[in-house]
A = this chain, B = another copy of it.
Amino acid sequence: MAGSRHSVVHLASPDDMEQQFYEALQHADLDRLMSVWSDEEEISCVHPGGPRLLGPRAIRASYEALFVHGALHVEPTQVRRLHTHSTAVHSLVERARVMTPRGPESAWVLVTNVYVKTGHGWRLVSHHASPGAPDEPGEALPSATTLLH
């Protein structure tokens, strides 16, 4: 149906956009990933331990470099949402599957994602990620060992 994709974009919530963001990472889909981001020059991105990246060009290049190694095994957990009419601030803990000398383990990354409502729908304007402590998720979640079974 003509215009249906456009409608979907407009109706998408911040949660929908966040789901698209992580699915794009999980499939190393660069175009889909960048469609979640705003195209403003002032958007910012910090990968864990990395420098500050500003603007769509630098951010796209960073993901392109990451995807050389394939898709990212990362999923959002413990999402806390602060929503206003036109702003959505999501604080979450990413669980990443990483290889270690002891085999695959979970690593935890603290993330703040900020979305703003634009004329084209909700768009990501800031992604700040930093390494979490090994026991980040706390006692409320099953252990990494359990998660891998």
Contact = CB atoms under 8 A, between A and B. Distances in A.
B125 A128 contact: no
Interface of A: 40, 42-44, 46, 48-49, 51-52, 54, 80-82, 84-87, 89, 91, 93, 110, 112, 114, 116, 125-126, 128, 130-133, 136
Given A80-B54, A91-B52, A130 B130 contact: yes
A interface secondary structure, majority: strand
The 10 closest A-B pairs by CB, nearest first: A130-B130, A44-B91, A42-B82, A87-B87, A112-B128, A128-B128, A89-B126, A52-B110, A46-B110, A87-B116
Given A52-B136, A84-B116, A89-B114, 19 more contacts: A40-B82, A42-B89, A43-B82, A44-B80, A44-B82, A48-B130, A51-B110, A51-B133, A52-B91, A54-B80, A82-B116, A82-B126, A84-B87, A87-B87, A87-B116, A89-B125, A89-B126, A112-B128, A130-B131
